[in-house]
Amino acid sequence: MSAYQNLEEPQEELYEHHKFSATKGQEPLRVDKFLMNFIENATRNKIQKAAKDGNIWVNNQIVKQNYKVKAGDEVRVLFTHPPYEFLLTPENIPLDIVYEDEVLLVVNKPAGMVVHPGHGNYSGTLINALVHHVENLPNNSSERPGLVHRIDKDTSGLLVVAKTEAAMTYLSKQFFEKTSEREYIALVWGNVADDEGTIEGNLARHPKNRLQMAVFPEGDEGKEAVTHYKVLERLGYVTLVSCKLETGRTHQIRVHMKYIGHTLFNDERYGGDKILKGTTFTKYKQFVENAFKILPRQALHAKTLGFKHPVTGEPMQFNSEIPQDMQQCIEKWRKYAQHAE
């Protein structure tokens, strides 16, 4: 659980508080390593600083970074942030704007760019670029100006940004009511059995690794998630697929594809950075390692985005090219598959 809280101090710092309970199967593990498994963008240095400042507690007792967490322990940590205003500093970062008018813009986000500021990413984000490009972006409930939806840092592709309160409301409603169109292109491990299909299963935080999401097929936890997939090309040990989102949950495609046995290629968080399919030959291992170097991220691109315009009501659809790193990786697998036949 994470929450922001303003404290009445002159510097008006923001604090980020996390609280976790170690599960029954937890083997003794240093608290700094335990926290790195649970908190995104929390580096060892930041955790060490929190420990030095007396901001790590286990069972309400301050502990040092070498304390070993055991099953049943309740672990809390407090991180400090710069003032909120600093998080929204305008930065003159080039944007790939696909479309723009008075009420909205569509941007093609490159892989590696974080969408909004947060712990460990205080600058260089899409929001920093947007607040430089557009004055008075409308705020939403998460204090992320202009954002109607998000994509992961290492996912490339299209995002729509609202420039007015009315546009924010209108567009957000479309995403909530599942009337927007979102198509992603993914390269996944394995030969997907069916030419097309639908994956359904609630998504929630993984009980043991809070950096991951997990599928809860019984629907007893999490939020409803539906992904429609279609095979575009079979490339031997990997498959190129189109994924259309009916819902837009955190890591949805990444988790759903892993759930059916087809983890995204080079998706480090979900194990796709290992050789999951193929032979034991040294040449094959070298081939895959080279493919990882060409595409040093998960193979996922938000290709198509569609919605109704907030003012005119006219349907709008935008498409983006698959970026060069992903194209090169696909082509490498295409040649390998042809050679292996």
Dist CA 145 CA 216 (whole Å): 32
Residue 24: count of CB within 10 angstroms of its CB? 6
Label each residue of the chain as H, E or C.
CEEEEECCCCCCCEEEEEEEECCCCCCCEEHHHHHHCCCCCCCHHHHHHHHHCCCEEECCEECCCCCEECCCCEEEEEEEECCHHHHCCCCCCCCCEEEECCCEEEEEECCCCCCCCECCECCCCHHHHHHHHCCCCCCCCCCCCCECCCCCCCCEEEEEEECCHHHHHHHHHHHHCCCCEEEEEEEEECCCCCCEEEEECEEEECCCCCCCEEEECCCCCCECCEEEEEEEEEECCEEEEEEEECCCCCCHHHHHHHHCCCCECCCHHHCCCCCCCCCCCHHHHHHHHHHHHHCCCCCEEEEEEEEECCCCCCEEEEECCCCHHHHHHHHHHHHHHHHHC
| From 152, 154, 267, 325, the catalytic residue | 152
Q: Are 229 and 184 in contact (CB under 8 A)?
A: no
Residues 6+ apart with CB under 8 A from 76: 17, 18, 19, 20, 56, 57, 58
Phi/psi for 307 (5° steps) reads -165, 170
Task: Reply yes or no on whether 267 is catalytic.
Answer: no
Residues designated catalytic = 152
